[in-house]
Structure formats: C-alpha cells, structure tokens
Chain A
Amino acid sequence: MTVKYTEDHEWLKPEGDHYVIGVSAHAAEQLGDVVFVELPEVGKTFAKGDEMAVVESVKAASDVYAPISGDIVEVNAAIVDEPAKVNEDPQGAAWFVKIKPSNPSEIDALMDEGAYKEFAGNS
C-alpha cells in the first residue's frame, strides 16, 4: 500500500505492523513557517479523529488529528526540537508519530494520492 491521506491533511503509510503519520506538503505550505510542535506521549491511545498533536506557525495553531485509531508506538522528537523541519520535509524526515492500528479497516476509507491532490486543489 502506498501513502494515504485524510481530509484534515494528514498522511500515513505502512511500516511493518504500524503506520507512520505526518502532515501533508500541502498543509505544511498552507501553515507557513512552523515554530512549535506538540506530540503525544508514547503509549497513548487515540480514536480516529481525536486531536493527537499540535502544530503552530508564526500566524496560527492547528490541530493534527489521528487518521486511524490505535496506540502511539513512537514519536519524532526531532521536529519538536526543530519545528522548521516540518516545512523542509513534511512527508519524509518530519513525520509526527507511528501508530499501531486497532482497527486497520479504517485505512480503506482514506484517500489515495490522486484523490487527495484533487481534494487539496479544491480546498
């Protein structure tokens, strides 16, 4: 499976038995220069759609929602130390968290790259 996207501009992709999650390049560009990131604690459980992390630019604060339900298995402390990384490589090095899904079927409802590009282009 390739990268999937939510309507709230998170992306996720599979990695072993969990999923890596971040914010889309489109979202990072819209936010502008990121100056602050707050990530959840490892071990915390979220339901799909829960507020999971916070990302703030000079101008505004945005919530990052859990794209699927599950437990946090790892977080990317590097983006807390250097929030600007979110603008530099939002869909690579600046991933936010890794989640172990509790209901993998939720992933089917998410958009693929083509559908997301169309969605983001209209948003």
Chain B
Amino acid sequence: MSATEHSTLKKTPLYDLHLSLGAKMVEFAGYAMPVQYPAGVLKEHLHTREKVGLFDVSHMGLAYLHTTEMALGSDEAHEKIAAAIETLVPGEIRKLKKGAARYTVLLSDDGGVLDDLMISRIFLDELQGMLFLVVNAATKEQDFALIREKLAGVAELNIVTDRALIAVQGPMAAAVVNRLFPGAAEQPFMSIRPRFWPASDDQAFIVVSRLGYTGEDGFEISVPNSHAELLAKALLAAPEVEPVGLGARDSLRLEAGLCLYGHDLTPEISPIEGNIAFAVGKRRREEGGFPGAARIQRELAEGPKRLRVGLRPEGRAPAREGAEIQSTDGKTIGAVTSGGFGPSAGAPVAMGYVDAAFSKTGTPVNLIVRGKPLSAVVADMPFVPHGYYRG
C-alpha cells in the first residue's frame, strides 16, 4: 500500500518508526500496521523463537474498569468490580491476586464468544476496585459499548486512547526488558506491574505485563504515546531485538495453538467448543452467573458437539482457513479455521473444528485443499512447546 492509501487509516504512535524500519504496511482492523519488515515473515518468526521480537500491538483496545459503588482502595472494592465483570465473563476474577492477569472471554447470552480478552487486577493498593482490560482491535468498539451498557450504574469504563502497547516476546525478552526495568525478569508469568521510565525528569508511567501471544516468554508494555517511540527504539537498540510484523505474529500464535478471534473463535462458538475451557473458572463452572451459563455447563458435563483441534497435514502443503475437513470415508466433519506453514514446526500446521467423535489425537482426517484430499491427523497443541516463565 502506498503512503496516500494510509491517509484514511488510523495510525499507531509507532507508525513513523515502522516506515523508517522499512515495514510493508497493510490495513488491519482499520489501522495501518506493519505486516513484515525487510527480514520477512520467516526470519522474523524464527528470530522471535530464538531471541526477541518487538511487536506494535497498539491497535488493541486498552481500558480501565472501576467500581462506582464504593471508593477505590480496598479488597471490598475489588469484590465489587469483580462481581460486576463476572456477569459478562466466565473467568475467575474475584480470586485474582493483586497484579495478576487472566485470559477469559466476553460471552453472548447464548454462550458464544464475543471476544477473548485479558483482565488484570491492578497491583497498587490504593487502586483496588480497578481492572485493566486488553481486548482485540477489531472488536474493541463493540466490546466497550457492551461493557458500558451492561455495567451502567455499577462500574465506569475509561478507554485508553493516549497509549501505545509494545509486545516484547522471545526467550531473551526477560534479559532485555530487565535492563530497562530492573526486576522485570523476576516478575511472575501472567502478572502486571507499574513502572516508571526512563530514569530522568521526563518520566512516563509504564505498565509492564508478563504475557503475550506467541507462546514464548515475554512482556506487553503499555507506554504513553509521548514516550512510545523512545521506548521502542530503546528496546530495538538491544542486540537481541528485531522488529516483527503481523505476518509472523500470526504464524507464531498458530504454532502456539492460540486462537485468532474472528477466525478460531466467533459469536457462534462457546469457550468449551473452542477448547479454551481454562477461560472458565472452576468456581464459576459450578456457580454459573455468566451469560450462556446453561449451555456452557451442559457442554462441560456432556461434552461439546464440536471441538477445536490441532491438525497436522502430511507432507509440506499447508491447509488454510476455510479448507473442509472430511473423515477418511469422505463425510464432512468440519473446517479449518487457521492454517499455514509453521516455520519452527518445520511443517504445515492448522487448527479447526471437527465433530466431537473425530476430536481424539491421532484421528486420521482429510483436508480438502484445491479440491483434493490432503491426509492429516488430529494433533495436540501447541505445535511448538510454550516457553512461558515458570520461575
């Protein structure tokens, strides 16, 4: 796309930096985003698995949600905001520890996934009663509208529009981030901490979360727009770090077995069918009290009719989104929702939905690629082992 074609698109605070790094820009969720840099998708992918990739994920939706039923700063205030958001998501929010993050889903009334999101309990004592939300770019307007509508009178949602979000992912991410934010290397997996940077008069308030969407150890760093490029450049200055575009972000999350919303998860699919039952808290499975609880509890008890599974095609030909999945006797049993070549797996990998009877690991199936059946087997995910920090 040419520079003039960008004019109608939203830009992140790192737009100029992407251009200066030679990124190929594409439209994604209304934003001009880097799909790849000169190194290309394959090298960017492998670099992230080996060292560290830096991703601009500023297009995602950030917001703070706080209770309006009482003053902030107490465990009771957390109970209030947790009870409020738990009417919309099935995740365990009440028992989240201070500064802990949780992956869960926004549900429709019939238990379909409206979005997948990250909910973190604020770390600071004086801000208890507040949660930090990160939702998908393509769904952020509708997510935030829904939350405001459903929680009117009990909570207030403040959408963050003046911050960038930078993901730093890979086995050496902790070493790199620790140089800028001493102590970050010991920050627990799925946690969030407030930081200040840089060590000068012009300090910015930074939120460092230890999580990501590549399957690797890593961080997502929320930084004011004013300091976004400065921080990105400071991170890129580390010899381990290379910029990585949306192309490799997609192949990395696919290998990690993670869902891409709008493809692997949709409003018709429940979290149980989506094979993300971990997004439904243990206590919540028994208590219910979230949209579509009846369907989700029934699917937990009886098993879902269809299930998201990993698929490994034989040979080198990738099967991509939309490819029909057939049983070996030629009956349609599902469809591929994400697929491609896994650079670290060194082979094509895919995920898709199949009738539950065919969801067992090792089940042989056919994927219909260009009209021809391609032999594949139902496979465990992730396709590449996760490298999350377990310290």
Contacts and interface: CB of A to CB of B under 8 A. Distances in A.
Interface residues of A, number: 12
B258 to A, nearest CB: 17
B341 A56 contact: yes
Contacts of A36: 316-318, 341, 348
A59 B247 contact: yes
Interface stretch (B39-47, B128-136, B145-153, B213-221): B39-47
A59 B41 contact: yes
A32 B316 contact: no
Contacts of B341: 35-36, 56, 58
A112 interface: no
B42 A54 contact: no
Given A32-B36, A35-B341, A57 B370 contact: no
A33 interface: yes
Interface in B223-277: 247-248, 250-251
A59 B250 CA distance: 9
A58 B45 contact: yes
B256 to A, nearest CB: 15
A57 B343 CA distance: 11
Nearest to B254: A58
A56 B343 CA distance: 13
B370 A59 contact: no
Contacts of B251: 58
A56 B247 CA distance: 14
A78 interface: no
Contacts of B316: 35-36, 83
Interface in B68-96: none
A83 B343 CA distance: 13
A17 B141 CA distance: 62
A58 B320 contact: no
Nearest to A29: B40
A74 interface: no
Contacts of B45: 58
B112 interface: no
Interface in B297-332: 316-318, 320
B370 A32 contact: no
Nearest to B43: A33
Contacts of A56: 317-318, 341
A38 interface: yes
B291 interface: no
Nearest to B36: A32
Contacts of A38: 317
Contacts of B248: 58
A115 interface: no
Interface string A25-47: 00000001101101000000000
B340 A59 contact: yes
A58 B340 contact: yes
A61 interface: yes
A75 B223 CA distance: 53
8 contacts: A32-B41, A33-B40, A36-B318, A36-B341, A36-B348, A56-B341, A58-B45, A58-B343
Interface of B: 35-36, 40-43, 45, 247-248, 250-251, 316-318, 320, 340-341, 343, 348, 370
Interface of A: 32-33, 35-36, 38, 54, 56-59, 61, 83
